[in-house]
Amino acid sequence: METVDRIKQQIEENPILLYMKGSPKLPSCGFSSQASQALMGCGQAFAYVDILQNPDIRAELPKYANWPTFPQLWVEGELVGGCDIIMEMFQNGELQELVSGVAERHPEPSAE
């Protein structure tokens, strides 16, 4: 599968997706740490892709997204932005609203 197709599939399959350096529990950069902490603070599950483990995605996503830096937050197929935007939205309550709205529209499949 082409890298761009993989990116599109990840964005399509995950209503809340954070492309970051490292993981939410072990972020590898301060900006990724702040972004994942803000998302975790919203209290809903979200997917992430560690771009350090995926150098092809790290190379292609900035071109696809027309956004040069990481982290990148994608919600319902739309690029929300990077760390500064995520933190600003978190501080004024917009991120929590956005994330809880998405969680209502996309309930996680129950493990039965």
* Residue 70 annotated as lining a ligand binding site: yes
Of 3, 110, 98, 84, the closest CA to residue 42 belongs to 98
User: Is 42 assigned to a binding site?
Assistant: no
84 is in an annotated binding site: yes
Check the annotation: does 29 bind a ligand.
yes
Is 21 annotated in a binding site? The answer is yes
Determine whether the annotation assigns residue 83 to a binding site: yes
- Which residues belong to the annotated binding site for [2Fe-2S] cluster? 29
- Which residues belong to the annotated binding site for glutathione? 21, 58, 70, 83-84
- Which residues belong to the annotated binding site? 21, 29, 58, 70, 83-84
